[in-house]
Amino acid sequence: MPDYLDDLRLAHVLADAADAATMDRFKALDLKVETKPDMTPVTEADKAAEEIVRGHLQRARPRDAILGEEFGVEGTGPRRWVIDPIDGTKNYVRGVPVWATLISLMEAAEGGFQPVVGLVSAPALGRRWWAAKDHGAFTGRSLTSASRLRVSSVGKLPDASFAYSSLTGWEEQGRLSGFLDLTREVWRTRAYGDFWPYMLVAEGAVDICAEPELSLWDMAAPAIIVTESGGTFTGLDGRPGPHSGNAAASNGLLHDDLLGYLNERS
């Protein structure tokens, strides 16, 4: 059985290179920002970071395929690297430090490609999280300076902290009623947004989180980090993994409750 540790080490090298590119342009007064066809922003830093990661992968793993948010899919085969060069571009554009590069390796498996390595690097926060299949999840400055991640043991919603991104998507999907009922049931709610709620679930600082609409590159890395920390990561339909177009993550103990509320239709 592969242990994926070489791939994890490579993911750190990729993240180091991406961090250098993104931090170099963070808060730059002449940062170039465009609007994509889906009306979301993209910066020159998004594109540069993805190009750098792709270049490294083409040299280090020439047989592997690559899927990136900005430049699509390249190559075929049973292994695919999935890249979100800047998750939280709107934050990046405004100078908010909550953004990250997301890097995942997925392998062909029953039910489709599944993540086997995941790394989330948030250089403006000075934080990094990572995981490899069957090796656990960690956070720290480097592979040699890290602490193990464990989800919380909170078992009741009235004691739980719930993180989300915004209200808009829940309303558009007709799930707002259930969402609001959940916020009334839990101990605390905070809209941290983007990658961060999933990392907080993995750390045990937050107990449940969810988003109504996401892409694969938003979820692949967080999915394995959450599961390797002992948590549960599914779509709102309960399907395990990052393939449902939306996400629900928890410490596992509260997952059925989380899905129950979010599938209540208004």
Model confidence pLDDT, tens digit, residues 91-121: 998 899 999 999 999 999 887 899 999 999 9
Residue 40 has pLDDT above 80, yes or no: no
Can you give the pLDDT at residue 65?
Answer: 97
Q: What is the pLDDT of residues 60-92, one digit of tens each?
A: 999 999 999 888 899 998 999 999 999 999 999
For residue 46, what are the contacts with CB-CB under 8 A and spacing of at least 6? 69, 70, 85, 86, 89
Residue 1's pLDDT band, with cuts at 50, 70 and 90, is low
Contact yes or no for 25/44 (Cβ under 8 A) = yes
Residue 39's pLDDT band, with cuts at 50, 70 and 90, is low
Look up the pTM and report it: 0.95
Can you give the pLDDT at residue 25?
Answer: 82
Q: How do 161-163 and 188-190 pair as beta strands?
A: parallel
Can you give the pLDDT at residue 27?
Answer: 83
Q: What is the pLDDT of residues 115-158, one digit of tens each?
A: 999 999 999 999 999 999 999 999 998 888 899 999 999 999 99
